[in-house]
Amino acid sequence: MIIKRTLLACALFVSATTVAATTHTKTVTTAPIIKGSNYLSPYCGCCKEWVAHMKDNGFELENVYQENLTPTKIKLGVLPEYASCHTAQIEGYTFEGHVPAADIKRFLASKPTRMKGLAVGGMPMGSPGMEYGDKKDSYNVIAFDDKGRTMVWAKHN
């Protein structure tokens, strides 16, 4: 009799957990993909690494390969002192160089009206796409406007 009750209790427990598991649906929300274009040299490997960093963080960038990026940088308002190896255009803003995806997301969320974009001049070691072991340079992410005025948007150590 005890064995029958134990088996019945186990059967009821299994049935109840099976019903609970099949009736409970988990809602998975995913952030929308942020699309844009990235202008880069066909010969630069770190640019491709930066694009991979962006993809890992919810961006989908179309790569536009150009032999000479200077006209694109001038057209998009990138000052020479903030130039780097690639230039992205996302939601109407310009992002120059190895800007971290988190800084771009924060910038896009704030939708600044005066600022034209963000830049990381040069190619600082440790920035996205420029990882090399544990070596890291300190660098600033600079916000810029169409008149050449700038401000520090973020600092990275």
Whole-number Å distance between alpha carbons of 104 and 100: 7
Whole-number Å distance between alpha carbons of 39 and 68: 10
Segment 117-157, tens digit of pLDDT: 999 999 999 999 999 888 999 999 999 999 989 999 999 98
Segment 6-48, tens digit of pLDDT: 334 444 433 443 444 444 445 555 778 999 999 999 988 888 8
Whole-number Å distance between alpha carbons of 72 and 78: 9
pLDDT at 75: 93
Record the pTM.
0.79
Whole-number Å distance between alpha carbons of 155 and 139: 6
Q: Which is more confidently placed, 4 or 36?
A: 36
Q: Which is more confidently placed, 25 or 53?
A: 53
Segment 96-125, tens digit of pLDDT: 999 999 999 999 999 999 999 999 999 999
Banded pLDDT at 89 (limits 50, 70, 90): very high
Q: Is the pLDDT of residue 4 over 70?
A: no
Q: Six-digit token pair at 146?
A: 């169409």
